[in-house]
Amino acid sequence: MLKTEKLTKKFKDTLAVDEVTIELGQGESVGLLGPNGAGKSTAISMISTLIQPTSGDVRLNGKSVLKKPGEMRKVLGVVPQKIALYEELSAYENLKFFGRIYGLSGKKLEERIQIVLELVGLSDRQKELVKKYSGGMQRRVNLAAAMLHEPEVLIMDEPTVGIDPQSRNHLLETIRKLNREQGMTVLYTSHYMEEVEKLCDRVYIMDHGKVIAAGTKDELKGVLSEEETVLIEFDQNYPPLFEKISQMEGINHAVVSDNRLKLIIPKGVRVLGTLFHEAERYNAQIINVTVQKPTLEDVFLRLTGRKLRD
Ligand SMILES: Nc1ncnc2c1ncn2[C@@H]1O[C@H](COP(=O)(O)OP(=O)(O)OP(=O)(O)O)[C@@H](O)[C@H]1O
């Protein structure tokens, strides 16, 4: 139902989005995964008709929306990265204000406000001033505002950044329900691969403005079907040993985090013998060795040689 075609945005010397083609089918939950600065927000702003692309197109049911943004705005609910609420007003008053912008009024507006407050679990606290809410609760009001006009597609730009775990779970659960139970089409951007893994059927991985991989989660993990991920936990960090192991023959990629070493190795290649031997030479104690199923994080690492997050 929604498609971008070679969507491109250039800011002076920065090519923020580079020929991005993505597609959302009705009722699908699609993830846009990429590190900070990958171009996710810029892509979303163009899809939401907030900024004009340098080139390329955005199509809704086959029709370009660039010249007629009104059509798109009716259909889309957008939850921006930054919280956009009036702090001196209550959640209820904020929703009333945004509802009027969407052209709602009277009984219909009242009805929608109560439905969306219920959806985000804030009915009980709707009369409190937004400035008294936690960051997570404010995000929930943001989501409620985006849902007032009964959009068909919900677009979210990193909605869980900087919020407490409870609100994060609540938000993720709400989005999941909207998608699974109400058939809402969802485009979800994040640099948290766990969230995208949990919520989305299909994923586009972005880096440096480009889509570098796309597919279902299983298809993407298929990139690693010829490889295994081995996680080795040591009693502490041993920089020279970790460096040595990372350079060993047969290791495709290695990542160090604290006292853990993650190795991506071709299936069937036996490295553990050499690894234990090296550990002994450095007097290092291995606490645990696990062979893991690949995650989307591993796919990103394999494609770019970098981690999604530092
Ligand atoms: N208005 C702007 N003017 C100039 N450069 C911009 C502008 N907006 C974004 N950029 C640049 O475009 C690139 C992509 O930024 P964008 O915000 O789209 O990335 P992102 O993947 O959403 O990351 P983040 O999660 O950090 O927002 C970055 O290099 C950024 O500095």
Task: Give the model confidence (pLDDT) of 172-182 as tens digits.
Answer: 999 999 999 98
* 208 and 233 together in one domain: no
* 82 and 94 together in one domain: yes
Rounded to an integer, the average pLDDT of 156-168 is 86
* 214 and 252 together in one domain: no
Domain total for the chain?
2
Residue 310 covered by a domain: no
The mean pLDDT of the chain is: 90
Pocket test for ligand 1, best of 11, 192, 206, 306 (most atoms within 8 A of CB): 11
Residue 309 covered by a domain: no
Lowest mean pLDDT among 88-92, 183-187, 221-225, 287-291: 221-225
Rounded to an integer, the average pLDDT of 189-214 is 90
Residue 21 has pLDDT above 90, yes or no: yes
pLDDT value, residue 11: 95
Question: Atom 7 in ligand 1: which residue has the minimum CA distance?
Answer: 11
* 284 and 155 together in one domain: no
* 135 and 210 together in one domain: yes
Residue 310 has pLDDT above 60, yes or no: no
pTM, 2 dp? 0.81
Pocket test for ligand 1, best of 14, 17, 155, 156 (most atoms within 8 A of CB): 14
Compute, in angstroms, the gap from residue 45 CA to the centroid of ligand 1. 11
Residue 168 covered by a domain: yes
pLDDT value, residue 282: 92
Indicate the pLDDT class of residue 264, thresholds 50, 70 and 90: confident
Atom of ligand 1 nearest to the CA of 209: 14
pLDDT value, residue 294: 77
Indicate the pLDDT class of residue 228, thresholds 50, 70 and 90: confident
* 230 and 214 together in one domain: no
Residue 45 has pLDDT above 90, yes or no: yes
Residue 305 has pLDDT above 80, yes or no: no
Residue 304 covered by a domain: no
Rounded to an integer, the average pLDDT of 30-35 is 91
Q: Which residue has the higher pLDDT, 225 or 240?
A: 240
Rounded to an integer, the average pLDDT of 273-302 is 86
pLDDT value, residue 272: 84
* 88 and 179 together in one domain: yes
Question: Atom 28 in ligand 1: which residue has the minimum CA distance?
Answer: 37
* 138 and 59 together in one domain: yes
Rounded to an integer, the average pLDDT of 3-32 is 95
Residue 298 covered by a domain: no
Residue 309 has pLDDT above 70, yes or no: no
CATH of residue 207's domain is: 3.40.50.300
pLDDT in tens, 48-90: 999 999 999 999 999 999 888 888 888 999 998 888 899 999 9
What ipTM was estimated for this complex? 0.94
Compute, in angstroms, the gap from residue 303 CA to the centroid of ligand 1. 21
167, 200, 221 - which closes a domain? 221
* 22 and 36 together in one domain: yes
β-pairing, 29-33 vs 202-207, is parallel
* 127 and 33 together in one domain: yes
Q: How far is residue 247 CA from its own chain's centroid?
A: 32
Provide the domain limits for residue 242. 225-293
* 65 and 174 together in one domain: yes
170, 201, 221 - which closes a domain? 221
Compute, in angstroms, the gap from residue 165 CA to the centroid of ligand 1. 26
pLDDT value, residue 223: 73
Residue 208 has pLDDT above 80, yes or no: yes
CATH of residue 244's domain is: 3.30.70.100
Residue 151 has pLDDT above 90, yes or no: yes
194, 221, 248 - which closes a domain? 221
* 204 and 252 together in one domain: no
pLDDT value, residue 110: 96
Atom of ligand 1 nearest to the CA of 161: 25
pLDDT value, residue 221: 79
Task: Kindly report the number of other CB atoms within 10 A of residue 46's CB atom.
Answer: 25
Residue 302 covered by a domain: no
